[in-house]
Amino acid sequence: LQGLAELAHRIKGAARVVGSTVLVESCLLLEEACSSQRHSAEQVTEYALSLSRKVEMFESNVVAELARLPKS
């Protein structure tokens, strides 16, 4: 869980740089779930999968925006 929390923390930093509040919030949930006894393994898994889906959506959005740039 520590490694997962550290990964979420690093993603959160990058998400802040690019201004993605959706990713930041998802990372915060996962970090909290990993470092707290209040969350079950199922909740941690749910938060991790949610973050993964959001990262994939972000990546798709970046690729779409890049495709719209003029070709040189």
Does residue 44 have a pLDDT over 90?
Answer: yes
Predicted TM-score (pTM) of this structure: 0.88
Does residue 59 have a pLDDT over 80?
Answer: yes
Helix (H) or strand (E) holding 6: helix 2-18
**The predicted structure's pLDDT at residue 37:** 85
Dist CA 53 CA 55 (whole Å): 5
User: Would you call 33 helix, strand, or coil by DSSP?
Assistant: helix
